[in-house]
Structure 1
Amino acid sequence: MHPSHALVQGRQQVTLDTPLMRTLSTLNSTTVPKPIVGTVLPKDESREFMAVFPDIVRDLTDAGRHTDIPEANKWFAKVLQYNVPTGKKYRGFALVYSYKQLVQPEQLTPENLRLAYIMGWCVEMLQAHFLVEDDIIDQSEIRRGKPCWYKYNNLGLAAINDGLLLESGVYHLLRLYFRNMPYYLHTLELFLQVTQKTILGQHLDIHSTDLNGRPKFDKFTMDRYNSIVKYKTAFYSCYLPVALAMQMVSGELSLTLEDICSSGNINDDYLDCFGESEITGKLGSKDIEAGKCSWLAIVALQRVTPKQRALFEQCYGYKDPVKVAAVKELYEQLGLPATYATYEEESYNLISTQIQQISRGLPHQIFFKFLDTIYRREG
């Protein structure tokens, strides 16, 4: 294996091609005491993280860069402010939390902590890039309680370029702040590899429907769903933040994060259908309207009668509110809310057991914090 393929440095190298623990397909009834649920960062540290963002905007739009095109710089600032800091920032917070858990106390200086904040914002910018492009592909209406960026002032497909601006900003920040660090090259490669993995996952998601946007129900399998979650979501949402923290301090990375992220994605699927729009910041059910290969749809197809399947295929993948309501009613008839509640409880116990068994030297609390951010989440 070429050393440039390594995610982290240490006695055991873990790569993006290392086989992952399989997504939860069996449940364990072993009860493990639940850790205290809390935010990834305390409020004061969250404020410190947020306080760095204006500097990020200035670094990307001022500081003597592209002075001959002030209009573009001003627009880039607007793109950043609209799309990057308004989410939950789980990924950025997770990176900072992981870094603080892993670094030696004498190395936790204000300067190093600021670098961790900046690296966290790089992850948040990559997330924003993916979301801008994803909303265009899915023709979504609402993101984080406001119009999707491509809907802002009817931007339309011009927003594709803004998504690319966000991605390019990641690499400018990395060069600006980390080019003299020993982990710089590995960090660049990690961002590039994770981006490629996410694009491949997006391909699987997109091609679960045909060119007319109709669902390919023969592709609605749990194996395909697991692959979509792993590639489109898990690598950049769960793997990347901790891997980057590891890069900054050197160490080993457990793969338990992949199971945690899978559980979180199933939670997203459930909330997309049954969550309160005031909390989720979304209107309707994007997964039903777009004909997504979702956990709910797959489980439903495993349970339906021939008559129910015919109804499902007639209604799934349409924006018609009547058809969306019919799919939701079918989910209720099939007992999917109760199935999800059982899954959530038992998967929490299983993952908690796995965390307790980790012997790779990483603090267990890193993994419990990840788990707590998605367990019984409402939005």
Structure 2
Amino acid sequence: MRGPITTLTGTNDIGHSPVFWAGFALVLAALAIYPGTATEFEANNVAFYLLNIPLALGLCLLWGYGGVLSFGQVAYFGIAAYVYGIVAGNMNGSQWGSLIGMVGGLAASAVAAGVFGYFVFYARVQNWIVPILTLVLTLLLETFLGQTAGYQWRVGQVQLGGYNGMTGIPPFQLGDLMFFGSYFYYYVLVVVVLSYIGCRMLVNANAGEVLLAIREDPLRTELLGYDIRARQWSIFVLASMLAGLSGVLYVQWGNYITPTQVGLAQASLPVIWVAVGGRDSLLACAISTYALNWLTYTLSSAGYQSALVIIGFLLIIVMLFFPRGVVVTIARATIWRRKERRGVDDVGYDPRH
């Protein structure tokens, strides 16, 4: 068994040297003091860029480390968000309603992924078919939610709203503490950092090594006695819960959600975030997710209506010239330069990944 320090500093993600962790601490310190140097509006925007990171981390685990591409992560994003809105909306005024709604949203995304994943993995569906099935799930969910505009589509006091969306979703609350402004920013920051650390420890643990073995050679891994379907199903459910976590944070941030958030355009975005950064690294995915959300917002706020087209064009450029992702390519180049100078790989990222 590997200890917590070993799994945190293992080589299945970029960086484990003291220099890397010093830089990591400096970035966290900068993020921690940011609300004191910015307006509430700017801090709120940064919270939005950050809250999408768990969604990308889940897809990175599933696709980059597990070898299974999914276009359905926004479906679990939407399921958790809508369930949170329904539960918290019906318990509005309760000190613990939002916490119960959050737990309910994550549980709903896990159950939905568990049922769907069971039929996908235990039916031995080939990996190239999984993206199609998950995309169909996303489109079906968007179509269903879009038909819920009538008054009859009401759960307790909460109206689903169809394409008008569910509005008035309560913010996060713990007891008497309401998470607005800087409180919400720090809440999101803590959740994102813990999500990253948890995923990093997972991929560097024995379970992560088995996951990589399944990605590289599932038949050989199965012959070694591992239940590869159970492992794939487990990581699929975990990825859905991370997507659901982003969904809950999103509705707590904006207090609304529409079916377009689980539509075709949104389904492609997590794939772009992960591919541009590099699906072989959790940290690379986190960096690219933040950067691309910032870029999309900047282009949209500047009046560029074709922001999504520009992001898609960026993906094409990356696939042609940086097939392993921009961040991973830079990290690999840095590793080999330092390796040539010192004769060892002291950066802590296994280039075989």
TM-score of the aligned structures, taking structure 2 as reference length: 0.29
TM-score when normalising by structure 1:
0.27
Larger RCO: 1 or 2 (CA < 8 Å, sep 6+): 2
